[in-house]
Amino acid sequence: MSGDTDDFDAFYAGSVRRVTGYLYAVTGSRAEAEDAAQEAFARAWQHWPRVSGYADPEAWVRRVPDRDYHLAQDGEPDGGAPPAWGPRR
């Protein structure tokens, strides 16, 4: 498990700024971007054995909040409340 932790820590350190920057561009809010990035990385950690095997794990992390945003924007159910950083209505 230590190897998984070390791998994830390195992945996080190398990608968190890019992911947060991308999410800032999407949301226009630093706080919302940081919240969305935190949630995306938490989900990545939960699924790390699978996600770490992808050719581009960072793309998976970017896709989590992007998918949630589009579901909230389209008004389709996602199994819960839309993310806090979704579009304002």
Question: Rg (Cα) of the chain, in Å, rounded?
Answer: 13
On whether the pTM is more than 0.85, the answer is no
pLDDT at 89: 41
Burial of 35-45, coded b for 16+ CB within 10 Å and e otherwise, reads: bbbebbbebbe
pLDDT at 87: 47
How many CA within 13 A on the CB side of residue 41?
Answer: 21
Each residue's pLDDT tens digit, 4-36: 899 999 999 999 999 999 999 988 899 989 999
Each residue's pLDDT tens digit, 30-84: 998 999 999 999 999 999 999 999 999 999 999 987 766 655 555 554 445 445 5
Report the chain's terminal Cα–Cα distance, integer Å: 43
